[in-house]
Structure 1
Amino acid sequence: MTGPGLVGPSRRAGERASEAVVEAVANRSNTEQTSLPPLYGVVEPDSLDTLAARADESDILVSFEYAGYDVRVAGPMDVTVSAIDD
């Protein structure tokens, strides 16, 4: 789903969910990935990757705030980012 203030779905086949989150937030905020705070400050990246990898086996929805954005990881390929004030 895309629209004003949103980026998604942004996960490519073979890409880890945690990598897709950082990339999507960097793209949305027009910031270098290395300038963002560590993702592990808000969510455990390995756990997020494991949940997303198993999304074919069950429905998942993980949502959290990261670097001023609302992030939703739903299913195996869907990462959506929107500004908190959108």
Structure 2
Amino acid sequence: MRNTGSKAASTTPQVYLTLPASAGEPGSRLVAFDTVTLGAGASKRVSVTIDPSSVDRPLSYYSTATSSWVTDPGTYGVAVGDSSDASLTGSFTVAE
């Protein structure tokens, strides 16, 4: 993150995931965030952890057919930014 302004400011970088199409889940979901305060002209590398086994199950969805949490294999989309601009994008693959 970089503060290009002339005053200290805070921002909240956010990480969104989109599950593979096979999951049948709509849109993207917020899976991680952090609040960062930077002085004027300062920058900082921000790291967040997405833990697939955490209680909020960021890579999974609840299947009513199997009455269990499911993590589908396939390509997951990732978008990073703030609430108005998540323009840093990428993807990763979960194998079977």
TM-score, normalization by structure 1: 0.30
TM-score, normalization by structure 2: 0.28
More helix by share: 1
